Amino acid sequence: MAKTNPGRFFEDYAVGDVLHHAVPRTVSGGERALYHALYPARHALYSSDEFARGCGLPASPLEDLAAFHMVFGKTVPDVSLNAVANLGYAEGRWHLPVYAGDTLRAESEVIGVKQNSNGKSGVVYVRTRGLNQRDECVLDYVRWVMVRKGNLELPAPETFIPELNEAIAAKDLVVPDGLDFSRYDFSLAGEPHRWDDYEVGEQIDHVDGVTIEEAEHMLATRLWQNTAKVHFDTTARPDGSRLIYGGHVISMARALSFNGLANAQMIVGLNGGAHANPCTFGMTIRAWSEVLDKAETSAPGVGAIRLRLVATSGDAPFQLKGDDGKYRSEVLLDLDYWALMPR
């Protein structure tokens, strides 16, 4: 009996299956320190217990994207080991902050399958939930990937494509219990701009850039126990380069966005995202944002802002797609998310 995990193929997924992902993880101050070492992350709520307490939380939570990566990493052996491409995200919501001492695990339900016309692969849709040690859902999201078929002779399954919202409605965003921005310290947070200062359609160039190093993206990717070999093994790809985990680009771009969006503190919704082009060693990542929407919340002093976050390997902001409607070659990431800001 072979002991190693060959990964699942397209035919191994059926709508309604629930996959219980392996290797739960307890977080500590170590994950926070490493996150700050790996990314130029400066959002005060995630840096200072005192600042978080001033906002009504018991302590500084784990960065929302770190929680996302940790949950995502657990799904890789069951969902994307034989994936050809990560196609999209939708309906992502953060339900509960994660604190030092919490233990995360993950499970995914298959919510859609569609074989490709070439018969060699198919698209699998899963809704993944991250759970803490009290079995509370800390975050969930839908992701769809293209997966190779193992046995080409098997018939195509019945196509089922889930209906997905184009964006989380503002009323469905979960504001953490107790969150209160009414005594928010803008000086400690680093910028004076409040929710009211941002306009839909406004674009922000985050100015700074970080050139990618191999050791850094590998440290990050392993920290989330994402062990997909393309991220680590230079012999796994024809060109001898490592493919950088898309989540590394997301976290880098989000951290760079501090410069102009220092007060977009908590990420609470992931409406969608595309890894437009692969990222490899030596690229200098820059980021820009666009305000897509704004909404009030019932929490004191808390507004919600919907943002497009674009990471690029080029040096000109605000360029997204060419005349052909396709992403420009330098665009690495186009992410659509909701954050909470002081009003």
Between CA 132 and CA 270 the distance in angstroms is 20
Contact positions with its own copies (CB under 8 A) in 57-96: 60, 77
**Given the complex with its own copies, which of 133 and 329 has the nearer CB atom?**
133
Judge contact between 132 and 103, C-beta under 8 A: yes
Distance from the Cα of residue 53 to its chain's centroid: 25
Within 10 A of 225 (CB to CB), how many other CB atoms are there?
16
44 makes contact with its own copies (CB under 8 A): yes
Pairing of strands 137-148, 83-94: antiparallel
Burial of 39 per CB tally in 10 Å (0-12, 13-18, 19+): buried
193 makes contact with its own copies (CB under 8 A): yes
Nearest alpha-carbon partner for 146 in 125, 167, 160:
125
Contact positions with its own copies (CB under 8 A) in 228-267: 229, 232-236, 242, 259-262
**Given the complex with its own copies, which of 49 and 293 has the nearer CB atom?**
49
The CB-of-90 to its own copies minimum distance in angstroms stands at 27
Among 8, 69, 93, 105, binds its own copies (CB under 8 A): 105
Only one of the segments 46-54, 117-125, 270-278, 294-302 lies at the binding site for its own copies (rule: CB under 8 A); that segment is 46-54
Q: What is the DSSP letter of 118?
A: T
Residue with token string 């409605």: 169
The CB-of-242 to its own copies minimum distance in angstroms stands at 7
**Given the complex with its own copies, which of 189 and 250 has the nearer CB atom?**
189
**Given the complex with its own copies, which of 15 and 100 has the nearer CB atom?**
100
The CB-of-117 to its own copies minimum distance in angstroms stands at 31
Between CA 179 and CA 55 the distance in angstroms is 6
